[in-house]
């Protein structure tokens, strides 16, 4: 079963629909025991970093997420869900992220292209991770964001894209995976990425 963490931060239904289209059982939940029992866990998200961290705190989900990671359950952050895994964001100065991964979320520079970035962009794979098995270099995925990741550990960055800056579009470290783009809105490529996630073997 794939648990999709519900913390009032959007796009849970589209993620659920995508997972179920792969023939997998999916459950939108904020119940601690259900999340900890799940075979895979997804943290989706659309919205603001500070508000999202407050919701996770209010619902008692911060320690649950850290427990999931510690017990080696495959964990996937999507969009805002990626950003929350890191230490801090320029969107909410003074607000601590989950700090599971090292790095900061920064604003896309205002240098002639529209911000937020909304639309399709191609991926490059500096370190091809397990999410991208069977995905061609240059594959297009769907982004909606004004802030992007600058990871402190280059070796965890599995996909990048160019939009004014070099954007760290996906990361993998141990059992933790994350995408700045929306695989659930990225057509056949996105479904393949989600399929790779739900079929991960746990060591």
* Of 151, 133, 118, the residue nearest 196 (C-alpha): 133
Specify whether 16 is catalytic.
Answer: no
Q: What is the dihedral of CA 34, 35, 38, 42, to 10 degrees?
A: 140
Q: Per the residue annotation, which of 16, 24, 79, 172 is the catalytic one?
A: 79
Specify whether 137 is catalytic.
Answer: no
Q: Per the residue annotation, which of 16, 24, 91, 184 is the catalytic one?
A: 184
Q: Per the residue annotation, which of 168, 172, 179, 182 is the catalytic one?
A: 182
Q: Which residues pair with 120 in a beta bridge?
A: 142
Alpha-helical segments (H) within the chain: 12-21, 32-37, 49-58, 62-70, 80-84, 187-198
Specify whether 93 is catalytic.
Answer: no
The rounded distance, in Å, linking the Cα atoms of 103 and 81 is 14
Catalytic residue numbers, as ranges: 79, 182, 184
């Amino acid at each position: 079963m794939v648990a999709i963490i519900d913390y009032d931060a959007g796009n849970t239904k589209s993620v659920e629909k995508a997972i179920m289209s792969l023939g997998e059982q999916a459950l939108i939940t904020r119940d601690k025991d259900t999340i900890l029992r799940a075979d895979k866990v997804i943290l989706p998200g659309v919205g603001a970093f500070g508000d999202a961290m407050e919701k996770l705190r209010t619902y008692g989900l911060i320690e649950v997420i850290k427990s999931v990671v510690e017990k080696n359950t495959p964990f996937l952050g999507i969009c805002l869900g990626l950003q929350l895994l890191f230490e801090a964001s320029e969107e909410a100065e003074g607000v601590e992220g989950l700090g599971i991964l090292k790095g900061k979320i920064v604003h896309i520079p205002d240098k002639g292209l529209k911000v937020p970035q909304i639309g399709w962009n191609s991926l490059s794979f500096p370190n091809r991770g397990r999410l991208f098995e069977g995905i061609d270099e240059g594959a297009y995925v769907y982004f909606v964001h004004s802030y992007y990741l600058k990871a402190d550990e280059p070796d965890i960055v599995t996909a990048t894209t160019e939009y004014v800056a070099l954007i760290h579009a996906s990361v993998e470290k141990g059992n933790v995976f994350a995408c700045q783009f929306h695989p659930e809105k990225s057509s056949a490529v996105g479904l393949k990425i989600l399929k790779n996630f739900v079929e991960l073997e746990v060591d």
